[in-house]
Amino acid sequence: MAEDPAPAEASGRGPVAEATGGGSAAEAPGRGPAAVPPLPSDAVLGEWMALALAEARSALSTGDVPVGAVVLDRDGTVIGRGRNERELHRDPTAHAEVVALREAAAATGDWQLPGATLVVTLEPCVMCAGAILAARIPRVVFGAWDEKAGAAGSVHDLLRDRRLQHRVEVVAGIEADECGDLLTRFFREPGRGLGYDAGDR
Cβ 65 to Zn ion shortest distance, Å: 10
91-98: list long-range contacts, CB under 8 Å, 24+ apart: 93/127, 95/67, 95/125, 95/127, 95/128, 96/52, 96/55, 96/56, 96/59, 96/67, 96/68, 96/69, 96/120, 96/121, 96/122, 97/69, 97/124, 97/128, 97/131, 97/132, 98/127, 98/128, 98/131
If the CB atoms of residues 125 and 135 are measured against Zn ion, the closer one turns out to be 125
Determine whether 9 is an active site residue: no
| Inter-helix orientation angle 176-188/42-59, to 10° | 10
Q: Which stretch binds Zn ion (CB under 5 A): 8-16, 27-35, 119-127, 189-197?
A: 119-127
Q: Which of 18, 97, 123, 169 is catalytic?
A: 97
Cβ 138 to Zn ion shortest distance, Å: 19
The contact mask relative to Zn ion for 64-103 (x = CB under 5 A, - = no) is -------------------------------x--------
Question: From the list 72, 128, 151, 168, which residue makes contact with Zn ion (rule: CB under 5 A)?
Answer: 128
Q: How far apart are CA 107 and CA 94, in angstroms?
A: 18
Does position 132 interact with Zn ion (CB under 5 A)? The reply is: no
Question: From the list 35, 56, 125, 172, which residue makes contact with Zn ion (rule: CB under 5 A)?
Answer: 125
Residues that bind Zn ion (CB under 5 A): 95, 125, 127-128
